Amino acid sequence: MQPKPIICLGCAFWDTIFKIDRIPSSGTKVLPEAAVQVAAGMATAAAATIARLGGAVELWARIGDDPTGDSFLRELSRENVRIDRIRRISGAQTAYSTILVDQAGERLVVPYTDPSLDKDASWLPLHEIARASAVLVDMRWVEGAKAVLAEARRCGVPTVVDADIAPPASLRELIALGDHVLFSEPALLSLTSSTTPNRALLEVAEHIGADVVGVTLGAQGALMRQRGDRPGTIQEFPGFSIQAVDTLGAGDVWHGTYVYGLVNEWGLSASVRMANAAAAMKCERFGGRLGAPSRSELQKWVQWRVPEDTIRDEGWF
């Protein structure tokens, strides 16, 4: 029997990534040390991460019928992501980005999305959601995300929202439909007057019906609140101390690993800890989401850095 797939819906970009010494503060010509081109975007990178970990996964997204779209499909198919639910829109350009990554791993991103990429979600094969193990959506195609989240909820399929920065009205609309709502720090703070992620997380979690509400904090790790936790408490999951080479796509790798853990019944603690580890591994490698690890690489990396008794006692895997 074929395993139930994870469906990822949302952002599809073609990234050109340059590794440079430092990001310039004024007009100049910069010669890169290295460069890669890769199929990317939040949902895309999460899907590729799930595939590398060994999960069955498909991407539901929109691209143009241009040569860039050809490259996107060809590159993503090498990651064993199912791509036949990606719609090609006649006359549109596939979204693309140019990205500079400096020696400290920080980046400058210049993205472009063609306005003619149709937002219509009526073509989505929603009848297929009942066979999924989970769905993950990002904030870059709200119309599609609403349709998928609503159908998944009707079918009892777990829903995960990658709640990155977006208009507050769109954020509120999608997080109301999520079983697992996982914020970036800027997105979380945009919904509340609280100035710290701890207080903001408690405030937002109180007003939505999600089973799990969390926020990723980069090198600091993640904060999570689970339904049933004692009032006012937050679970803290520290990050790892590493030498970052490229932080691009770390959050997407985190979300992909979390969803993989969810459908494989790792439990919240192990899913978050392993997501922190996978994101840290990615940051040690240049190339955006190309730094995502396989499951064996991830386990070996954790075993090298975390004492065996800690792994056992905390239930990492």
**pLDDT tens sequence across 198-242:** 999 999 999 999 999 999 999 999 999 999 999 999 999 999 999
Dihedral pair phi/psi, residue 62, rounded to 5°: -125, 135
Is the whole model's pTM more than 0.85, yes or no? yes
pLDDT confidence of residue 316 = 75
Query: What is the tens place of the pLDDT at every residue in 55-111?
Result: 999 999 999 999 999 999 999 999 999 999 999 999 999 999 999 999 999 999 999
Dihedral pair phi/psi, residue 261, rounded to 5°: -65, -40
- CA-nearest of 139, 153, 14 to 74 is 14
Question: Domains, the chain, ranges and CATH?
Answer: 6-23+32-314 (3.40.1190.20)
What is the DSSP annotation of 288-299?
GGGGPPPHHHHH
The residues, ordered by sequence, that sit 6+ positions from 296 with a Cβ below 8 Å of its Cβ are: none
